[in-house]
Structure 1
Amino acid sequence: MAMMNKTMNMLEGLVRQGSLHWVFGSRTSFDEEFEEMGQSPSGRRKWMSELSPAANVIVGRCSRLLDISMDELRQNFDMEASDSIKHPSRYARNFLEYCCFRALALSVQVIGHLSDKSFRRLTFDMMLAWEAPGAASQPILKIDAESTVGGEAFSRIAPAIPTIADVVTSTHLFDVLTDSTGGRLSFSVYEKYLAGLERAIKKMKTQSESSLLSSLRLPRGERILDVDGTVTTQPVLEHVGMSTWPGRLTLTDHALYFEPLRVVSYDKAKTYDLSDDLRQGVKPALTGPWGTRLFDKAVLYKSISLPEPVIMEFPELTGHSRRDYWLAIILEILFAHKFVRKFQIEGVEREEALSKAVLGILRVQAIHDMNFSMPVRWETLLMFNLTDQLPGGDLILETLASMSDSLEFDRANKPAAASGIYSISALAMLSNLGVGFGSGSLVDNGTRLLVGELVVGEMTALERAVSDSKNSFKKVELAQATVDGVKVEGIDTNLAVMKELLFPLMELGKYLLFLASWDEPLKSLAFCSVITYVICRGWIGYAIALLLLFIAIFMLLTRCCSQGRPVDEMKVIVPPPMNTMEQLLAVQNAISQVEELVQDGNIALLKMRALLLAVFPQATEKLALALVVMALFLAFVPTKFIILTTFLEMFTRYLPMRKASTERWMRRLREWWFIIPAAPVILERTNKEDKKRR
């Protein structure tokens, strides 16, 4: 108590002297609020000694927003929180989260809150205070106009507002926002992002209400997410077969619509459904004039409802960023509906899942409008896109589905919590923004100290699943970096590397062939005797197990002996460099060799077809007789003796006493194979004139 009183007296003296510049730098809103707290008659009662100055200011703001005193906030927290959350080492941050989440749950219910500058500043200051919540943070704390926020604080506070971020993609969103600022988020960039998000929301509302798009006739109450192709200098081209049409492309939360452009208007829209189970596929595609595949600027859509795939091209002078953006948002809607179908989500929970996808697309549009210099991987900012790529992404989706089930149960069985902390749903957020979905409504629900997909002082199941997935993804990235580092250019160089890697197996194969040739009878006899004894005793399984055990022991010993030391690099002798003409000839030779292998394979298959269809009756009769003998042998002879007979027959072929007969039988077998005719084949050329006339 004496230490606390001494601290309070010191802070009050600093307030009276206006000496807070050593804490806050130049005067900010923090300075004024902090001085107001100290000068208030009840300032000592408002001040919480466990919190840092910044945290005290934020708690004061939250108390005014909630119209409840700081003392009452603290009493409610102490009453509702578990002992682990109230542990002294975590008390300051958990209490700050409690106050922030309660204030945010109320603030986001106000229409137009994103445009409110005080709301933007409040959420950013919450992140600043979260980084230094305790009184022990006071000496190192400095908050001014240049203060920045770290990724952990952003990922904790921002997802509490579903419009701004979500748990799954918040880390990637932060990385994009801080790409040019050294991994720290400034308020100017944060405010610019929120302004872009507000514009994206207004744009979606305007497009959904626009008379220009009334011809689409959206019977399912769909919301228009984006439109492209309205500017003549940036058309969208639809390719079906050999025909190409410019037009306008519209994406809703259920489907793609393409309206072919006529002379002065648009033709009736073609619908490409993304919501039904039509085995749809969406992927990047190449396009070009007269069916050539030259430009990587298109999206291919296929489904069982279409006779052939449809390609949407997004022409641009350089790069393919326009296509990448559309590919990402189309896939997000497709994956969202797959998620709904897979887990049989219905009703309000279905609209909630689609709302998450819509909010993700709005965030992507906000980032897109900020015109970052570095290319952005849009799929990492979209929840369902990202879970499709992350290792363990299926577990994240399972957690999301189970959370939907639990929320439905809670709404049916639990009353709202007295504390005022509610689950902020994506659907409710869109409704507050004036772009609600469907006719369902989401009743606010109190479960523990929950807000959105976050719980005060704890990691939710979703956060744990995302954390595990990201840790696995880091390992994948490290492994992929090693893969990229060992990739080499040139066919000859790659063949040299492969030859070096396969060298031990090649040497082993050569040695086995050497033993089978009986050039050194003693070695061959010893090997043959050992293998024969193993087969006769029925020890084949034990021999394979012993081999696997030997490999495992070798790996463990290598790990123990080389722990902490870098792996020895494999040395490969690089072939002499080739000029362009030599490289083309090498490619041509490789293609010719592959073509010969394919031809030989086809001939073998056609000869087998001829044998099966009795094109050459004599050969068919001999093969049928051989198959009958083999069938009887397999049916009545024990497996052990079959293996032994096969091994001895193959390994003793080149014994001095058998060599002549082996060569004679091999020659007869080749002659028999050569006299078998190939089954006839008729090649039909497809007529493309029908496609050209479309």
Structure 2
Amino acid sequence: MDTIGSPVSASSIKKDSLTFLKSLFNSTEDDVVDSQAAPLPFLSPLANSVISSCSKILQKPTEELQHCFDTEHPNIMKESLVYARSFLEFCSYQALNLMTRRPDYLADKNFRRLTFDMMLAWDGPSAENELNIETASCSNQEVEDEEGWSLFYSNSTNMAAQVDEDKTVGLEAFARIAPACTVIADVITVHNLFDVLTMSSGHKLHFLIYDKYLRSLEKVIKSAANVNTSSSASNLQLAEGEIILEIDGTVPTQPIFQHIGISGWPGRLTLTNNAMYFESMGVGLYDKAVKFELAADMKQVIKPDLTGPLGARLYDKAVMYKSTSITEPVYFEFTEFKGSSRRDYWLDISLEILYAHKFIRMYNLKKFQQLEALARAALGILRYRAVKEAFQNFPSNYKTLLCFNLAESLPGGYTILQALSSRLSLLDDSSSQHDSVRSPRANRQLRQPISYLTLCRHKIVSIDEVGMDKEEMQQIGDVCVGEINPLEMAVKQSKQDIGRAEAAQATVDQVKVEGIDTNIAIMQELLFPLIESFNHLQRLASWEEPSKSTVFLVLVTYVILGGWMKYVLPSIFIFVAIMMGCNRFANYGKPLEAFNITAPPYRNAVEQLLALQEAISELEALIQAGNIFLLKIRALLFAALPQATDRIAILLVILAVVFAFVPVQYLILLAFYEAYTREMPLRKDSSDQVLRRMREWWYNIPAAPVQLIKPDDKKTK
């Protein structure tokens, strides 16, 4: 499988890169094309413009690029749409590989314009597509304020709706170009990112929205780089390789409250790629941070929960953290006047780190593989934060921008994790060491942690921490020229089950009813066949109709003595399978008829509370009876009543001898006879006497004593 990018010396990267790009995009389209070879006849005007721009960035003639493409991909037929798109991908990927080596490329409007033009050209790459779209010069027509934001961004969707429809990018074009720049999109979540960006623009991506997203992403990345070099990182005493991903609670009007039991205090919460840290607010300073581990396997549970003052469960704005390292759960309350978006955001990013470490342990990843997995999670969190700050948008579980969260929420998401582990298995710890003996072909096939290198280029982490040689850093992305990435295939395969899962969940939501009486009525109707079968067996065992009871007794005796008991359960399974098959062919294509339930009489709220109280009382009595039974068994085991204990011990010895020497089928037959003939006229009087004596004997057995110890309710900080 051929991947994007080719080795380029570091000196050529640094040589006039910034001035070169400026001069490139300040020229017109005709100048760009004329400065290179003649336009390729099989490409559209916009595709020729993009190819010419890539040629100038790579400092290679267009003919040489085409020759390299034909050499590396000889199986792609010329004069076809696939050939034009594949050649465009080949040139675009190599150009992006070179441009993304500058740490400030997201701040360059020319870079943003070129990547968008690459997507436009991918939608219409061949000469048959008459797309006459203005390219680099379009970026000069924007009106920007002092901060660099367009004046139209206050309502970017309405502004974008006025743009010509031909100047919008579709899903497939975005999915083929955006993941080539690792910081912009991940191949696992690229479709979800497109859906979020185009949620209010008719599933078409306009440049204003795309540009707004990249500007927000650039600010978020700069903020993350500054935080990891500020005093906040040193105060937490982070481990080697640990980076800060998010901090909240620093604004006095929006603190985060930590609740343990009935105690609560404000502070700030910090999320890293290994743990969460809470620093309680003191007098002008923060106290020492308390660490909540996410990396080690401590049976951590993170979920939304209710909280409030003095332990009251009033507000649905908290995240609960529980693990084996703490005695009781900790609740982090994210105060917010309206909604719970702040809590939901922290819940998602915390689970992303937790799931990433779970993935690392599941597949036993090595050093560089661990770095790459955590870097993917970190970049996903930065993209999520950029979308949240730019558009105030929170995608649903199936539309999440976090790859590990997506794998957990999608039906069959394990296939995504398997594909990702296969991708990470290409990484080798030895790739960080310079090997002069390695052949050029081996160097070309070298795989490196691209997500981690992206964090290095943006100065969020240091390249020196893992000993990589800066001269060998190559941006080899997940996208492949003319091929679909295995990760993308796994995501598409998993998403095919979303429709069925959502439809099934919709039916579940429809049949949920309120009221104890109504739910009991539904359960009784559903279990009606089993209940009727049990009642029929009870009527047979009561010997109200001796003839039927005798026939059933003889039949069961024949089944047990004839050794047919082992076929009873398989016969039931076969019968149910045949019934299901008949129903399938009889009702093929027909909707399932509704199950008719006779609703119980209406009860008001007070009557329902009284019924609930009565049900709870009955449940309590049942639990008490179970406890008394267990305590009496304990008294027998510890000889609280010696005579009864002696009898039980002798009975157990006799039963042991019987089970050791008597065949099992005779024991089953004996147990059946004893239970079935208990109400038989010949045995009824004697059976009643035996049961009465057993009840009296059981009644005289004392229960083992129980002493309740009150727990210490003192809570200290």
Contact 1:347 1:440 in 2 (8 A): no
Equivalent residue for 1:636, pick from 661, 670, 673: 661
Contact 2:276 2:294 in 1 (8 A): yes
Partner of 1:190: 210
Q: Does 1:340 align with 2:360?
A: yes
What SS is found at the alignment partner of 1:233? coil
Partner of 2:109: 117
Q: Equivalent residues in 2 for 1:5-404 (5 A)?
A: 33=29, 43=38, 46-49=39-42, 51-81=43-73, 83=75, 88=80, 90-138=82-130, 145-146=164-165, 147-211=167-231, 214-372=234-392, 380-404=400-424
Q: More displaced, 199-208 or 141-150?
A: 141-150
C-alpha distance in 1, partners of 2:430/2:712? 62
Q: Equivalent residues in 2 for 1:291-690 (5 A)?
A: 291-372=311-392, 380-408=400-428, 411=431, 415=440, 425-437=450-462, 438-441=465-468, 451-688=476-713, 690=714
Contact 1:423 1:445 in 2 (8 A): no
What SS is found at the alignment partner of 1:258? strand
| Residues 1:39 and 1:686: Cα distance change in structure 2 (over 3 Å) | closer
What SS is found at the alignment partner of 1:149? coil
1:563 deviates by 0.9
1:136 deviates by 4.9
C-alpha distance in 2, partners of 1:535/1:426? 67
| Residues 1:88 and 1:294: Cα distance change in structure 2 (over 3 Å) | same
| Residues 1:493 and 1:54: Cα distance change in structure 2 (over 3 Å) | farther
Partner of 1:13: none
| Residues 1:458 and 1:221: Cα distance change in structure 2 (over 3 Å) | closer
Paired letter, 2:672: F
| Residues 1:307 and 1:522: Cα distance change in structure 2 (over 3 Å) | closer
| Residues 1:354 and 1:644: Cα distance change in structure 2 (over 3 Å) | same
| Residues 1:129 and 1:577: Cα distance change in structure 2 (over 3 Å) | farther
| Residues 1:213 and 1:444: Cα distance change in structure 2 (over 3 Å) | closer
Per-residue Cα deviation, 1:274-319 (whole angstroms, up to 9, x for no partner): 3344444333333222222222222233344434433322222222
Contact 1:85 1:94 in 2 (8 A): no
1:188 deviates by 1.7
Paired letter, 1:661: S
TM-score by length of 1: 0.86
C-alpha distance in 2, partners of 1:125/1:575? 65
C-alpha distance in 1, partners of 2:126/2:445? 24
Paired letter, 1:631: A
What SS is found at the alignment partner of 2:589? coil
Per-residue Cα deviation, 1:517-563 (whole angstroms, up to 9, x for no partner): 22222222222222221222211222322221111111111111111
Contact 1:105 1:424 in 2 (8 A): no
Contact 1:274 1:337 in 2 (8 A): yes
Alignment root-mean-square deviation, CA: 3.3
1:443 deviates by 7.8
Paired letter, 2:188: V
What SS is found at the alignment partner of 1:454? coil
1:421 deviates by 11
What SS is found at the alignment partner of 1:209? coil
1:163 deviates by 0.6
Give the length in aligned residue pairs.
658
What SS is found at the alignment partner of 1:514? helix
1:84 deviates by 6.1
Contact 1:54 1:129 in 2 (8 A): yes
Q: More displaced, 278-287 or 118-127?
A: 278-287
C-alpha distance in 1, partners of 2:99/2:457? 11
Paired letter, 1:685: K
C-alpha distance in 1, partners of 2:335/2:88? 50
TM-score by length of 2: 0.84
C-alpha distance in 1, partners of 2:67/2:28? 26
Per-residue Cα deviation, 1:417-457 (whole angstroms, up to 9, x for no partner): 8999987811121222222343343789999xx94122222
1:96 deviates by 2.5
Contact 2:168 2:205 in 1 (8 A): yes
Paired letter, 2:250: T
| Residues 1:138 and 1:424: Cα distance change in structure 2 (over 3 Å) | farther
What SS is found at the alignment partner of 1:319? coil
C-alpha distance in 1, partners of 2:578/2:565? 20
Contact 2:388 2:394 in 1 (8 A): no
C-alpha distance in 2, partners of 1:663/1:142? 98
- Consecutive unaligned residues in structure 1, runs of 5 or more: 1-28
Identity, % of aligned pairs? 47
C-alpha distance in 2, partners of 1:261/1:313? 15
What SS is found at the alignment partner of 1:578? coil
1:330 deviates by 2.1
C-alpha distance in 2, partners of 1:204/1:91? 41
Contact 2:372 2:449 in 1 (8 A): no
What SS is found at the alignment partner of 2:496? helix
| Residues 1:88 and 1:537: Cα distance change in structure 2 (over 3 Å) | farther
C-alpha distance in 2, partners of 1:216/1:295? 30
Contact 2:302 2:320 in 1 (8 A): yes
Per-residue Cα deviation, 1:460-482 (whole angstroms, up to 9, x for no partner): 33223222222234432222122
1:608 deviates by 1.6
1:219 deviates by 4.7
What SS is found at the alignment partner of 2:326? coil
Paired letter, 1:289: P
- Consecutive unaligned residues in structure 2, runs of 5 or more: 1-24, 136-162
What SS is found at the alignment partner of 1:436? coil
Contact 2:308 2:315 in 1 (8 A): yes
C-alpha distance in 2, partners of 1:575/1:57? 73
C-alpha distance in 1, partners of 2:439/2:339? 53
Contact 2:107 2:218 in 1 (8 A): yes
Contact 1:162 1:424 in 2 (8 A): no
Q: More displaced, 307-316 or 112-121?
A: 307-316
1:375 deviates by 6.5
Paired letter, 1:207: V
What SS is found at the alignment partner of 1:272? strand
| Residues 1:141 and 1:654: Cα distance change in structure 2 (over 3 Å) | farther
Contact 2:384 2:401 in 1 (8 A): yes
